[in-house]
């Protein structure tokens, strides 16, 4: 059984034109993924020179691999500076009490 994880990712580019190319490439990747059922993006949007998106997986290891696949797809686009994929992970967590 896997641990659910999600990311609200952010890809920073040098300019709006580069961000537009990134968004187009991720949109193309989304369409291909939807057809092959590999993984599905929840959203992809652009604001100026930054591309935002949301993605999740039922297994944190799977999400990490999928983010690596996204980076491989866009890293050579001229003007791409960085991609940040912070993970929010569902887990058991902790609970504490002073009551006896």
* pLDDT attached to residue 51: 97
* pLDDT attached to residue 93: 67
* pLDDT attached to residue 45: 96
Joined together, the tokens standing for residue 19 give 């961000």
* pLDDT attached to residue 34: 60
* pLDDT attached to residue 83: 96
* pLDDT attached to residue 67: 92
Tell me which of 2 and 40 has the higher pLDDT. Answer: 2
Query: How do residues 11-56 score in pLDDT, each as one tens digit?
Result: 999 999 999 999 999 999 887 776 656 666 788 999 999 999 999 8
DSSP-derived 3-state class of residue 27? helix
> Residues near 3 by Cβ (< 8 Å), separated by ≥ 6?
59, 60, 89, 90, 91
Helix, strand, coil distribution of the chain in percent, nearest 5: 35, 30, 35
Query: How do residues 55-90 score in pLDDT, each as one tens digit?
Result: 988 888 989 999 999 999 999 999 999 999 999 987
Q: Does domain 5-89 have CATH number 3.30.70.600?
A: yes
> Residues near 28 by Cβ (< 8 Å), separated by ≥ 6?
none
What's the whole-model pTM score?
0.83
Joined together, the tokens standing for residue 27 give 């949109």
Residue with tokens 């039922």: 58
Nearest residue to 26 (alpha-carbon basis) of 2, 5, 4, 9: 9
Q: Where are the domains of the chain?
A: 5-89
């Amino acid at each position: 059984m896997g641990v659910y994880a999600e990311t609200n990712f952010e890809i920073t580019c040098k300019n709006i034109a580069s961000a537009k190319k990134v968004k187009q490439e991720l949109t193309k990747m989304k369409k291909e993924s939807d057809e092959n059922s590999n993984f599905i993006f929840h959203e992809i949007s652009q604001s100026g020179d930054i591309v935002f998106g949301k993605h999740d997986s039922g297994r944190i290891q799977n999400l990490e691999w999928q983010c690596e696949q996204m980076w491989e797809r866009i890293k050579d686009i001229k003007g791409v500076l960085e991609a940040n994929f912070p993970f929010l992970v569902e887990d058991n967590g902790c609970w504490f009490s002073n009551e006896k």
